[in-house]
Amino acid sequence: MPIYNAPLRDLKFVYNELFDADDLQQLPGFEEATPDLVDAILEEAGKFCENELLPLNQVGDQEGCQFEDGKVTAPPGFKAAYDAFHENGYAGLIAPPEYGGQGLPKTLGFMVQEIICSTNMAFGMYPGLTEGACRAIEEFASDELKETYLPKMIEGTWSGVMCLTEPHCGTDLGLIRTKADANDDGSYSITGTKIFISAGEHDMTENIVHLVLARAPDAPEGIKGISLFLVPKMSVNDDGSVGDANNVVCGAIEHKMGIHGNSTCVMNFDGAHGFLVGTLHKGMSAMFVMMNAARLGVGMQGLGISEVAYQNAVSYARDRIQGRSLKGATQPEKAADPLTVHPDVRRMLLTMRAYTEGNRALNVWVARALDMSINAEDPKQREDAEALVALMTPVCKSFMTDCGSDVANMGVQVFGGHGYIAEWGMEQFVRDARIAQIYEGTNGIQALDLVGRKMPEKMGRNLRPFFHEVSAYLEEKVHDERDEMQSLIMSLAKSFGRLQIVTGWIAQQGMKNPEEGAAAATDYLRLFALVALGYMWLRMADIALDKRAGDEPVFYQAKLDTARFFCNRLLPQTGALMSAIMSGSDTMMSFNEAAF
């Protein structure tokens, strides 16, 4: 079975040292989120996930979910773990107190979610989807629906899911055919079929709340005619208890490449009783609340897989002896030296580490901005934070999941043949990680969202917080006289300059030909993400230089060394990406379609 230890020291470093925890504690509603409380929650979450969820990860993969007569049974042990998860309060960490939650910062919720994803990604999807559904209900539903459904969902008695995709439409939601016919009492009858519905049916809760996109008979064509409806699996009585079954039935579960522990369902709605969430024909607004929450959550799945794959690769590389160091035997008393003596193995391990720790820092930076955008009292601070979250959501979803897949594959490579067989668990990480690049909007769609929507929105308003902060930091640090910082600063400055040039080029060329931006989008998102990670690594190196002579020299020196590796070996990718982007769209769009 794979090993895992929650990276508590690094999580605490990012939360308390890289960023100022006092900033969050001073926000209205977060007064009780002291560093001691945050540390204690992270430590307990680490123990729970290591002891309860990690042992079920391979069980869920090997046993999978079982389907019979419209009913789905979760893998052995999942229901008991789900009950314990909620009894320990993890599902309500960031939920609103007025509905039974603890109201703690979303930043803390993000960090706990990383730990969950590392230990059991398939399990984590059940509470994760419920959290996203709760956010949409909280923001758009009527008070009656909120009071009826949110307390039960937050306490874990009921769960929630999104029902968007249909057999003929995935990304293009304007093609949705599911119908919503108005009833005399103000409710609706929902009829249609949804596919790829994660956690759409299971036996771990007494009710499942489906948030369904559907179209009323008089709705306008396209996405402007879509509405969002709350459709429970079981009807709810006036006293809040569960009543009769609604006309919501699981028609099948998918046989998938990975995440076998999570049920991926075909859901059939046959005149099911539902309730409008938000305004009629304005369902996309509510859907994007769920979708954006889900996209950040999926980014954390990539991060979680990266961390567990890295830990197992390091452990194996230290113990596995193969060949001798090129400089001569380092352990002559043994038949061979450990894998860690080989430069290419070190290249893989350091790449895994640099992306994982860099993404963790980026994750917390964006999570803090999310908290600021909601809780800050200063309107300008809220506006800037909201712009940063909007800009970075597609970047985090896409880049972190790309890294999750890449890091998991590198982990298999470190293991060699042992990584390819199921016993060690590494190949499961590859299979589980792969879906994260696809669902909640493929990574290509994230790139298009970044270039086509987030960049030009409000005349480039979303770009300003990021560009201004990185620029100000570089201007401040250009006078840093420490030699070790200077080389890192120059590396980031070059890459940041490339990002600025390419951003202007895409904006200019896109006005002439919209295919230019689309052709550049994926490379641009990666370039953007690398610069963002470079900024995180410079800030971490800055701290490490000051603290490496203290009580934890190994920890801080490792931070500095990883920053050097990232800036010297990985950040230069921005040069190639810039060249590829500025080669233009003609290289791909002029190709004869018949020749494919």
Q: Which residues pair with 249 in a beta bridge?
A: 268
CB-based burial label for 290 (10 Å; 0-12, 13-18, 19+): buried
Q: In one letter, which amino acid is 482?
A: R
- Classify each residue of 486-500 as buried b or exposed e, where b means 16 or more C-beta atoms within 10 Å of its C-beta: eebbebbbbbbebbe
Q: Which helix (H) or strand (E) holds 463?
A: helix 463-477
Task: Report the alpha-carbon distance of residue 545 to residue 430 in Å, rounded.
Answer: 35
Provide the residue type at 420 as one letter: Y
Closest CA to 230 of 150, 167, 125: 150
Question: Under 8 Å CB-to-CB from 88, ≥6 apart: which residues?
Answer: 44, 48
* Torsional class of 557: left (φ above 0), alpha (ψ -120 to 50), beta (otherwise): alpha
Question: How far apart (Å, rounded) are the C-alpha atoms in residues 187 and 181?
Answer: 9
Check residue 292 and give its pLDDT.
79
Sign for the CA dihedral angle at 154, 19, 11, 409 comes to positive
Burial call 137-155: b when 16+ CB within 10 Å, e when fewer: bbebbeeebbebbbbbbbb
Residue boundaries of the structural domains of the chain: 8-140, 159-283, 459-589
Say which amino acid occupies 188. Y
What is the rounded distance in angstroms from the CA atom of residue 377 to the CA atom of residue 46?
33
Maximum Cα–Cα distance for the chain, whole Å?
Answer: 84
The per-residue pLDDT string of the chain (596 residues; one tens digit each, 9 = 90 and over) reads 899 999 999 999 999 999 999 999 999 999 999 999 999 999 999 999 999 999 999 999 999 999 999 999 999 999 999 999 999 999 999 999 999 999 999 999 999 999 999 999 999 999 999 999 999 999 999 999 999 999 999 999 999 999 999 998 877 777 899 999 999 999 999 999 999 999 999 999 999 999 999 999 989 988 889 999 999 999 999 999 999 999 999 999 999 999 999 999 999 999 999 999 999 999 988 877 777 778 999 999 999 999 999 999 999 999 999 999 999 999 999 999 999 999 999 999 999 999 999 999 999 999 999 999 999 999 999 999 999 999 999 999 999 999 999 999 999 999 999 999 999 999 999 999 999 999 999 999 999 999 999 999 988 999 999 999 999 999 999 888 888 999 999 999 999 999 999 999 999 998 889 999 999 999 999 999 999 999 999 999 999 999 999 999 999 999 999 999 999 999 999 999 999 999 999 999 999 999 99
Contact 209, 264 (CB under 8 A): no
Dihedral Cα 583, 577, 593, 447, nearest 10 deg: -120
Q: What residue type is assigned to position 555 of the chain?
A: F
| Structure tokens belonging to residue 85 | 């998860």
Task: Name the packing angle between helices 514-547 and 343-375 (round to 10°).
Answer: 100
pLDDT at site 186: 95
Take residue 383 and report the two structure tokens written for it. Answer: 């506006």
Could you tell me whether strands 158-163 and 207-215 are parallel, antiparallel, or unpaired per DSSP bridges? Answer: parallel
Domain pair 8-140 / 159-283, same fold: no
Burial of 422 (0-12, 13-18, 19+ CB in 10 A): exposed
CA-to-CA distance for 190 and 392, rounded, in angstroms? Answer: 35
Confirm if 486 and 478 have CB atoms less than 8 A apart: no
Quick one: pLDDT at residue 57? 98
* Residue found under tokens 């758009």: 140
What residues pair up with 264 in beta bridges, in sequence order?
198
Query: Can you give the pTM of this predicted structure?
Result: 0.97
Give me the pLDDT at residue 171, please. Answer: 78
Asked if residue 200 lies in contact with residue 249, where contact means CB atoms within 8 angstroms, the answer is no
Rounded Cα distance between 139 and 135, Å, is 6
The residues pairing with 159 across neighbouring beta strands, listed in sequence order, are 208
Compute the CA torsion angle 286, 433, 395, 46 (nearest 10 deg): 80
Q: State the Cα–Cα distance between residues 32 and 265, nearest whole angstrom.
A: 40
Q: Where are the beta strands (DSSP E) in 218-340?
A: 226-232, 234-236, 242-245, 248-253, 264-277
Q: Which entry of 201, 357, 427, 440 is annotated as an active-site residue?
A: 440
CA distances from 593 to 499, 502, 537 (A): 32, 28, 43
Among 540, 525, 534, smallest CA distance to 580 is for 525
Whole-number pLDDT of residue 130: 96
pLDDT number for residue 63: 97
The reported pLDDT for the residue numbered 76 is 98
Four-way CATH pick for 8-140: 1.20.20.10, 1.10.10.10, 2.40.50.100, 1.10.540.10: 1.10.540.10
The CA distance from 108 to 370, in Å, is 12
Pick the CATH number of 159-283 from 3.40.50.1370, 1.10.8.420, 3.30.1370.60, 2.40.110.20: 2.40.110.20
Q: What is the distance between the terminal CA atoms of the chain, rounded to a whole angstrom?
A: 44
**Is residue 440 flagged as an active site residue?**
yes
CA distance 378 to 370: 14
Q: DSSP string spanning 77-89? A: THHHHHHHHHHTT
Strand extents, DSSP E, 62-125: 66-68, 71-73
R_g (Cα) of the chain, nearest Å? 24
